[in-house]
Amino acid sequence: MEVRWIGVEPVRLGPPHTTCGLVFSLLLGVWSAQALEMSVGKIPFLQAVNGSTVTLPCTYASCIGIENLYFNWQFNDNGTMQKVCESVIPSEGVVPDVTIFRERVEFVGKNHQNNVSILLLNITFEDGGQYTCFGRNPKEHHKNHSAIFNLIVVDELREVDNTLTIIIASAVGGAIALLMGFMLLKNFTLFVLTKLEEKNKECLVTSSGIDNTENGLSGSKADSKPTPKKK
């Protein structure tokens, strides 16, 4: 018995390498969306006075969560990376037991809101430099990521000279005030001209009525005598 397929066309797949590339791209997109990310905030640097206490911020994020997340802080000492602290966070919300390798360092993140920040106490000029916050998440097949924060230690904070800003603001304010004054003057002038024009029109109408009366035209009250008839 012969079986025939009517109105059905076979589905043709592309070359094997094209199909594999498409699948790989989809998997890569999903993988990127789930990737671990370490962040030190929108402003990755801080200028602080010698002897003060500063916070080096760092948070982590993962779309699929964490499991035994390893993190550490490192300090770049003239090209040599020195470990500041490290720990492993078993799961979300668990306060990690942090090992600290550097003096005057305190862990303040406590894993609240994925926070793994540290505190530097009584900083010195030697503490200035580049700090790296590193994380690795085994739940994402050991996907890792890092973020860099720069600490600048100075004798004193310099006051920002706002003279130029004040001059620019004053110039802009003066220009706006001048423009508003010009617009008000223009509107007032137009208002006065409109009133004068209306008054002139009234005067013209009134004077026209008076002239017509004096010349004996229509609307005149002067008596007209009939022409005498011839007998």
Fold of 36-154: Immunoglobulin-like (2.60.40)
pTM of the entire predicted model: 0.58
Residue ranges of the domains in the chain?
36-154, 161-204
CB 38 within 8 A of CB 143: no
Angstrom distance (rounded) from CA 179 to CA 169:
15
Closest CA relative to residue 121, chosen from 52, 219, 63: 52
Full pLDDT tens readout for the chain, 231 residues:
554 544 544 545 455 544 444 444 444 444 445 589 999 999 999 999 999 999 999 999 999 999 999 999 999 999 999 999 999 999 988 999 999 999 999 999 988 889 999 999 999 999 999 999 999 999 999 999 999 999 999 998 877 666 777 788 788 888 898 888 888 888 888 888 888 877 777 766 666 655 555 555 454 444 555 565 555
